[in-house]
Structure 1
Amino acid sequence: MRLDDSTLSNLPADLAAQIRELDFLVRSAHRLNTSLELRKRLAIITEIVQEGLKCEAVSLLLYKEESGRLRFYVAANHIRPEGEHYELGLDEGLAGWIFKNGLVVRIRGAASDPRVQTECGGRIQLPIREVLGIPLQRGHRITGVIEALNKGEGGFTEEDENLLRSLSDTIAVSLENALLYRMIQREKLETESLYRISLKLNQTLKLKEILPLLLDLLKQAIPYHAAAIYLTDAEGKDVEFFMGQGYDAASERQAHLKMGQGAVGWVAKTGKPLLMEDVAQDVRYFRARATTRSELVVPIVSESRVIGAFNLESDHLGMFNKSDVKLLTTFASQAAISIERARLHEELLEKRRLEQEIKIARSIQEASAPRRSPEITGMGLAGLNVPSRQVSGDLYDFLAVHPGHTGILIADVAGKGVPAALVGARFQASMRAEIRNNYAIATILGRVNDLLLESGDAGSFITAVYGVLDIKTRRLTYSNAGHNPPLLLRADDRVEWLWEGGTVLGAFPHLTFEEQFVTLEPGDIVVFYTDGITEATDGRGEEFGSERLVETVRKLRGKSPHVICRGVVDATRVHEEMSQADDLTVVVLKASLPTDK
């Protein structure tokens, strides 16, 4: 709600101005939180700065680590389209100077400043008279530059500078969150596209039906202006155009290449991907389209043999990057499976499809696991996941919350195979994103629950426990979202179960969760686990159960967390006579004793 000026009329002018500024900043922050979509946030930022500073236009640039340059996201109110890259070096333009020096700049008579002319570079048509530029910062790190253009009579003032400084913190946080959200959405889209492709590629043996669908799905993950699939002939001497989008008929007829000829022929011959940011600078480019500026080609490989190539072309310079190379290579692997299936017996190919699906699920699950356990003074921490043959949705993670605090996450997604692995990957990405915002544990679980519901995974729910260990005080604060209660075995042999929290995630909207804490003394052990441990059954249908879990940990209490994890898994597998029906996941946190082994 905007303040009514009449309510401020009786206040001193300075106080009224301060209240108006505070009201504007609060309203601006609220507007920025209305959408996580990047382009909408850029539009809101532009409107807010124009409104607050009464300026004609706004430019906004962000630092891109992969190029070491500043990229225009807004150029004089023009929000640049995805893929249309206009960048400045850190030694170029006024924005480069501001970023490099970390200083605020106010300029009148900007038309005569060579830095402004360099920055415009013929791409910004607006005549620039005045500039107020300020670095965007997150902590001590400069992330970009925002510029207000053309104040008009009187130029930009110190009050304008102070207001833009105040806005810049909110803008920097807002942009970081929007970029993180876009990254998560892209990862989600990529993972879902891979899954949909794996399904499409296994629906028919007719490549003419499958591959056009593949190109459509591919475009959702990697935007392009033209795409083609090439296949090698039986002798491996030529590369032939199989199908494509965005080419005229004449180009398609001419697209018959010798091995090694052109970019596609080179990839087919070497088996290596080729990324061309500017095709005009690479002699290997075979001109099939007059408007192509950048190109990406990856091989389609089956059993170490190149059987074809994927070719993507864009009308923009530098449209593709290393992440696209990796993703397209994965797409190509999927295509290779289908192409080979069309050449092989149906029974053999069905077996390969199942193996590939499990491979995808396992790779997602393995990628989500920590590479190593964090080293914590006075504490031991370890985790172990032994996947079942079907691959279910178990996961665990160790998270760097902030200095002196370590996050511990264990979760179990309902279902098995690729769908469970995909939901688990999205859940883990959402948790990591929310943890960066430094919310309380209960708040994080509530927000992630709503994100799971918004993702539309009908019938998919997750049980989880998330805790944060204060290393200095040995206090473990946790919340249990419908998961098996972690076991706390005290050094004096008392047993506690960590139940406090709430219900499962992803089933009901607007949930609230409780937090609880325990303080760990030397010799105390906390065991997080999934239901694959306690519900493992022997030949008589008897479960491993919580009592056996307690006894197993008691026997191992003098050992390290790594040994305890392995011991619990081994005891479970012995109980179920090695016929593992579910994932077995254990995380052990132990307050160390000098005698631990």
Structure 2
Amino acid sequence: MGEQRLHLFGPVRMRDKLCGALFFGASGRHTVHHPDEQAFLEALGNLTAQALENARSIRELKELNKQLDQKIQQLNSLFDIGQEFGLLIDRNEILNRLSFTLMGQLMVNQFFVLDKNGPELRVLYAKGKHFSPEIIDGCLEICRQLPDDFTAVALREESEYNALVSRGIQAVIPMRVQSKIKGFLFLGERLNGLPYQAADLEYLTILANMTAISLDNAAMIREMIEKKRLEEELAIARAIQTRLIPAQMPELPNYDIHGMNRPSRDVGGDYFDIIPLSETEYLFAIADVSGKGVPAALLMSNLQAALHSLCLNRLPLSTLTAQLNQIVYRNTTMEKFITFFVMTLDLTSGAFRYVNAGHNPPYLFRADGTVEELDEGGLILGIFPDAEYRSGSGTLAPGDLLTMFTDGITEAMNKQEEEYEEKRVIEFFQSRNGDKTCAALNEALLTDVTAFAAESTMPGDDITILTIRRLA
């Protein structure tokens, strides 16, 4: 110490711990320090140690208070966002709230969110000009390789995720619901230039998980609302369908008549009708409207109203059908159409006329065992405005049976994806015709079709059957 002209060295201790050292030069009066001076300097060293310790404690306390304030602020923000998330069911609103929080708490204005659905990933939200579609696409493949136990990480140049760093990603946060990764939050550089610290990652992990849970809950709520809406719509459709179908069958001398409709879960547009034209003449109709739910039910309602109105004019069936076709064409879009069969029956003679507009051909089972197919007519309703229709005719003799049905019968599918088809309908009536009533036959056919399709995973269609037998 001589070269530095330092004549005295004194350690600075605090609780036997060396905190520093004091160095003294020569005294102005002499070069050797008196023992009293040395004692004074030692006391000064102890005071210095206390002052240094106090200063360090104050600095640590200020830093702890700063961190505590930040924690309180973050907890308050998490509490607030948790309350807001509980009120939101729109995905974009949830992600906008996330964006606002990231900016307010961490000065982050560049980030994107990836949704993980199995092996598939898709972008839910992206903010900031830096993250172009090309950059995001480059992150997708890397993201697919992240393990299930991946935790939040702040990225550095030397990290194993250097490919992400090169794309401007500075932190990746998994978004979990019940320990399952539902997506990822990718963060760019903060506006203040500070790196993401451990406390930031802890906060971001909680925020990301809350966002994932909120998105999951919102999706379930939207699904419940949509399910409720569909249930209400189907209830309306069923009510419309029920009102349009005859509540009871007419009791006509020398004839056994029965019609039935079993709506599917989705409620289609099946319809049948029995309209008296006079005391001795009746009109029978069956139709299948394309589509499901309320739209199909409303179109069916319009068809019924138009049919009843046109019946008052006593038009030939070919003309009546052509006018129905024009009405349907004018009031529907291209994807809407109706298969339709209409028949008039003279109760006295058994003579009938019919038009088949693209409907499943009804079958006439003669008492002698022969089968006739009623297929004369034309195109389905609603496709071409000027379609022309031809009428067919015949006679329902005593013992004959005529059955009309919709494609819910013939297209019913079993677990081998085989359809019930027309041949089974023919075989059914040929083997069971006998002395059974039309009601019993229809119920038995429905039972047979239901058993045939019992193990099918395919959704069933409406089933409608209208059967007429002349008794004498």
TM-score when normalising by structure 2? 0.52
Give 1:24-423 correspondences, 5 Å limit: 346=222, 348-423=224-299
Tell me the equivalent position of 2:449. Answer: 572
Distance of aligned partners of 1:546 and 1:346 in 2 relative to their CA distance in 1, 3 Å threshold: closer
- Note if 1:592 corresponds to 2:468: no
Distance of aligned partners of 1:348 and 1:537 in 2 relative to their CA distance in 1, 3 Å threshold: closer
Tell me the equivalent position of 1:517. Answer: 393
Distance of aligned partners of 1:470 and 1:358 in 2 relative to their CA distance in 1, 3 Å threshold: same
Distance of aligned partners of 1:540 and 1:405 in 2 relative to their CA distance in 1, 3 Å threshold: same
Tell me the equivalent position of 2:310. Answer: 434
List alignment gaps of at least 5 residues for structure 2: 1-87, 91-219
Tell me the equivalent position of 2:6. Answer: none
- Give distance in 2, aligned partners of 1:349 and 1:537: 31
Tell me the equivalent position of 2:351. Answer: 475
- Give distance in 2, aligned partners of 1:391 and 1:429: 20
- Name the SS of the counterpart of 1:402 in structure 2: coil
Code of the residue aligned with 2:407 in structure 1: it is: D
- Give distance in 2, aligned partners of 1:458 and 1:405: 35
Code of the residue aligned with 1:567 in structure 2: it is: A
Conserved 8 A contact 1:409-1:465? yes
- Give distance in 2, aligned partners of 1:349 and 1:556: 47
**From 417, 427, 443, the counterpart of 1:541:** 417
Conserved 8 A contact 1:410-1:529? yes
**1:215-266 deviation line (CA, Å, top 9, x unaligned):** xxxxxxxxxxxxxxxxxxxxxxxxxxxxxxxxxxxxxxxxxxxxxxxxxxxx
**1:109-165 deviation line (CA, Å, top 9, x unaligned):** xxxxxxxxxxxxxxxxxxxxxxxxxxxxxxxxxxxxxxxxxxxxxxxxxxxxxxxxx
Conserved 8 A contact 1:552-1:567? no
- Give distance in 1, aligned partners of 2:222 and 2:404: 44
Conserved 8 A contact 2:332-2:382? no
Code of the residue aligned with 1:530 in structure 2: it is: T
- Name the SS of the counterpart of 1:480 in structure 2: strand
- Give distance in 2, aligned partners of 1:531 and 1:349: 32
Number of residue equivalences: 254
List alignment gaps of at least 5 residues for structure 1: 1-203, 207-343
- Give distance in 1, aligned partners of 2:295 and 2:89: 24
**From 402, 408, 420, the counterpart of 1:526:** 402
- Give distance in 2, aligned partners of 1:532 and 1:383: 15
Q: Which has the higher contact order (CA 8 A, sep 6+)?
A: 2
The offset of 1:466, in angstroms, is 0.2
The offset of 1:555, in angstroms, is 2.8
The offset of 1:382, in angstroms, is 0.8
Conserved 8 A contact 1:441-1:479? yes
- Give distance in 1, aligned partners of 2:423 and 2:240: 33
Distance of aligned partners of 1:500 and 1:446 in 2 relative to their CA distance in 1, 3 Å threshold: same
- Name the SS of the counterpart of 1:496 in structure 2: strand
**1:427-446 deviation line (CA, Å, top 9, x unaligned):** 11111111111111111101
Code of the residue aligned with 2:409 in structure 1: it is: I
Distance of aligned partners of 1:538 and 1:374 in 2 relative to their CA distance in 1, 3 Å threshold: same
RMSD: 2.1
The offset of 1:346, in angstroms, is 4.9
- Give distance in 1, aligned partners of 2:382 and 2:222: 39
The offset of 1:205, in angstroms, is 8.8
Distance of aligned partners of 1:431 and 1:578 in 2 relative to their CA distance in 1, 3 Å threshold: farther
- Name the SS of the counterpart of 2:309 in structure 1: helix
Tell me the equivalent position of 1:496. Answer: 372
Tell me the equivalent position of 1:581. Answer: 460
**From 454, 468, 485, the counterpart of 2:330:** 454
- Name the SS of the counterpart of 1:365 in structure 2: helix
- Give distance in 1, aligned partners of 2:310 and 2:290: 22
Distance of aligned partners of 1:404 and 1:578 in 2 relative to their CA distance in 1, 3 Å threshold: farther
Tell me the equivalent position of 2:342. Answer: 466
Conserved 8 A contact 2:401-2:470? yes
Tell me the equivalent position of 1:36. Answer: none
- Give distance in 2, aligned partners of 1:578 and 1:359: 26
**From 523, 547, 559, the counterpart of 2:436:** 559
**1:318-375 deviation line (CA, Å, top 9, x unaligned):** xxxxxxxxxxxxxxxxxxxxxxxxxx96554333212101111111111110011111
- Name the SS of the counterpart of 2:468 in structure 1: strand
Conserved 8 A contact 2:414-2:455? no
Code of the residue aligned with 2:395 in structure 1: it is: T
- Give distance in 1, aligned partners of 2:423 and 2:439: 21
- Name the SS of the counterpart of 1:517 in structure 2: strand
Code of the residue aligned with 1:574 in structure 2: it is: A
Code of the residue aligned with 1:592 in structure 2: it is: L
> What percentage of aligned pairs have identical amino acids?
35
Code of the residue aligned with 1:421 in structure 2: it is: A
The offset of 1:550, in angstroms, is 1.1
